[in-house]
Amino acid sequence: MDFVRVGDKLLDRRKIAAAVDEILSLRCRGYSQAEAARRLGVDRSFVSRLESLGEVRRGRRVAVVGFPLANKKELEKMLEEEGVEYILLLTEEERWEFLRQRSGVEVFNFLMETVACLREFDAVIIIGSDYRIRLSEALLGREVIGVEIGSSPLREDRTLEVEGLRHLVRQVLLPSKERG
């Protein structure tokens, strides 16, 4: 038990941490600050200040999602180096393993949570087939940048040039005035 005394109050640090985790989870899933605050019984301004406390950087937020990729590890390493905040890359084998291990409901819930989270980003780079890129554009309603690695259906891993993707990510991360 991790308690702390403040004046005449005894506070449970775990309870506070759980509430903060829940607020952040709701915000990542697409809830507004007001909705998250209402669900936890706090003021919207508290949620705003909480986010400000944890803010690491301001500016364009970029996510990268792609499959099936043969050089997934190389790409992940580069994307982390470039400061991409959300990375979801899969090989063909991982994609099928993910589907085999989950029920239809679990897959659907994961997809809905992922879409909600991706909608919070300024730009989402989608690496995949022509069909997946078009579908992503329709679902996200945000700035989707497609990197086509083949026509649908893709049934085997494709290799994507690391430096080409690095260049694209750097262009996307630049403020709009610098991108021209």
pLDDT tens column, 84-123: 999 999 999 999 999 999 999 999 999 999 999 999 899 9
Q: In terms of domains, do 83 and 168 share one?
A: yes
Domain encompassing residue 131? 62-179
Task: Kindly report the pTM of this predicted structure.
Answer: 0.67
Torsion of Cα atoms, 103 then 106 then 109 then 113, to 10°: -130
**Numbers of helices and strands, H then E, in the chain:** 9, 6
pLDDT tens column, 141-178: 768 999 999 999 999 999 999 999 999 999 998 765 55
Q: In terms of domains, do 103 and 127 share one?
A: yes
SS3 content of the chain, % helix, strand, coil (to 5): 55, 20, 30
Task: Give me the mean pLDDT over the 75-79 stretch.
Answer: 97
Q: In terms of domains, do 50 and 105 share one?
A: no
Q: How many domains would you assign to the chain?
A: 2
Instruction: State both tokens at 173.
Output: 């991360």
Whether residue 90 contacts residue 69, with contact meaning beta carbons closer than 8 Å, is answered with: yes
Q: In terms of domains, do 67 and 125 share one?
A: yes
Predicted pLDDT of residue 59: 62
Predicted pLDDT of residue 178: 54
